[in-house]
Amino acid sequence: MLSYLPDMKTSTAALGRRCGDGLLGLWSRVFHRNAQADESWLEKRDMAVITATLMRLSERQLSRIGMSRRTLALDVEDLAARAQRELQVSPVVLEVVKSGGSRRVIRHE
């Protein structure tokens, strides 16, 4: 259902404000979004959710996986950094395996 402004013209900005989380508001957020800002926000949110989930574990359970409640935020950041490094190294390892283990030297950059 469209709402008309007094001059009988529809305004997507006005409709987005009126609809809130409705279809038009969703379209406006998707159409005008910034991909880098979204990715940064998602990463921060995910790290917070992961940390909060791990906080539900006891100290004994955390120690089994090499973490501590006192350093949990740092441990989660370290875990994410390690996963990022592995994502960068994996294609190189797959290339070496596909090439049959040739004897070339791969320099770490």
Confidence of residue 89 (pLDDT cuts 50, 70, 90): confident
Q: Where are the domains positioned within the chain?
A: 1-33, 35-97
Rounded CA-CA distance 65/32 in Å is 41
Pick from 5-9, 62-66, 70-74, 102-106: least confident:
5-9
Please give the Cα distance from 19 to 24 (Å, whole number). 7
Q: For 64-88, what is each residue's pLDDT tens digit?
A: 999 999 999 999 999 999 999 988 8
Burial pattern 20-43, b for ≥16 Cβ within 10 A else e, equals eeeebbeebeeeeeeeeeeeeeee
- To the question of pTM greater than 0.85 for the whole model, the response is no
Residue 23, pLDDT score = 73
* Model pLDDT for residues 11-54, shown as the tens digit of each residue: 444 444 554 567 766 666 676 677 777 788 888 899 999 999 99
